[in-house]
Structures are given as structure tokens and as C-alpha cells.
Amino acid sequence: MRLRSFRSADFEKLYEIDQACFAPGISYSREELERFIAHRNSQTWVAEEAREIVGFLIANREPRKTMHIVTIDVVAAWRRRGVGALLMDAAERWAKDHALVLIGLETAQDNLGAQRFYEGRGYRKVDEVENYYADGTAAWVMVKELS
């Protein structure tokens, strides 16, 4: 498996993956996804196997030495095969390289698999946000402090 930076030719595939990974109201619109990727403080990693994109992660560097994980998407057939860990390793390494001290993200309250994945990486729940997603789903805000 290979990890690389986003290229503009990847956009349609990333949009397709995001639509497949998340329900309407949680998945991003084309415009939202494009805006997150293009943000000047954003970094997008793409995981590929045999030249096929199998996952991606978008993160933004924010004020107060914080990084926000916007989304991590892994194609269903590739889940639990190390893709998410590879992407998170890259994002966390990037945060450390930029002297960031905190990483934050949101995950749907009912997405127990994602919560376990993040908790296993040292993230902890710090806040619950009602109606976070457009479909009314609540989210957990989870954070990890970097040393």
C-alpha cells in the first residue's frame, strides 16, 4: 500500500468514496469537500493499492497549535486492513512535524466502530454535540494531546 498527497485528478474518486462511506446528511457535498481540500492550511493524504484509491484523510491546521481531522474515508472492502491506521499515522506525524499539540475530530454518536478505533489511538471523548450533522445525528468531539 502506498500513501501520497492528493492530486486534483483524485477529486471525483474521493467524492465517490465519501458518498459511499457516509449517509446523506453526514457525507460532504461536492463543494464542501472541494473547499476542505483546497484550504490553505489543509493537507490531504491518499492511500492506494495497485493504483486504486482505497482511502483518504483530510486535516486542517488550525489556530492554537491544533489540527482538525475533517474526514477519514476508507473503501468498505479495505476496512480493518490497516488503511485507516496508515492515514492516521501520517496525519499525526504531520501534526508533530508542525509542532501542533492537539488533534481534534468529530464522529457520529452511533458510529461505535470509529469511536473504538480513535480510542485505541489515544483519543478521548470531550464533548457531545447534538444535531451536529445535517441529518440531525449527534457527534462526539474527540481529542488527542501530542507530546
Report the alpha-carbon distance of residue 147 to residue 73 in Å, rounded: 26
The predicted model gives 38-50 an average pLDDT of: 96
Residue 62 pLDDT: 93
The answer to whether residues 94 and 57 touch, using CB atoms and an 8 Å cutoff, is no
3-state secondary structure of 7: coil
pTM equals 0.94
**Domain of residue 59, residue span:** 2-145
- CATH of residue 13's domain is 3.40.630.30
37-63 core/surface letters (b: 16 or more CB in 10 A; e: else): beeeebbbbbbbeeeebbbbbbbbbee
3-state secondary structure of 67: strand
The answer to whether residues 57 and 88 touch, using CB atoms and an 8 Å cutoff, is yes
**Interval 119-142: pLDDT, tens:** 999 999 999 999 998 888 899 999
**Interval 76-107: pLDDT, tens:** 999 999 999 999 999 999 999 999 999 999 99
Number of domains within the chain: 1
DSSP code for 27: S
Q: Determine the residue type at 108.
A: A
Cα 25 to the center of its chain, rounded Å: 16
User: In what helix (H) or strand (E) does residue 126 lie, and over which residues does it extend?
Assistant: strand 124-129
**Angle (CA) 140 143 144, round 5°:** 150
The answer to whether residues 112 and 66 touch, using CB atoms and an 8 Å cutoff, is no
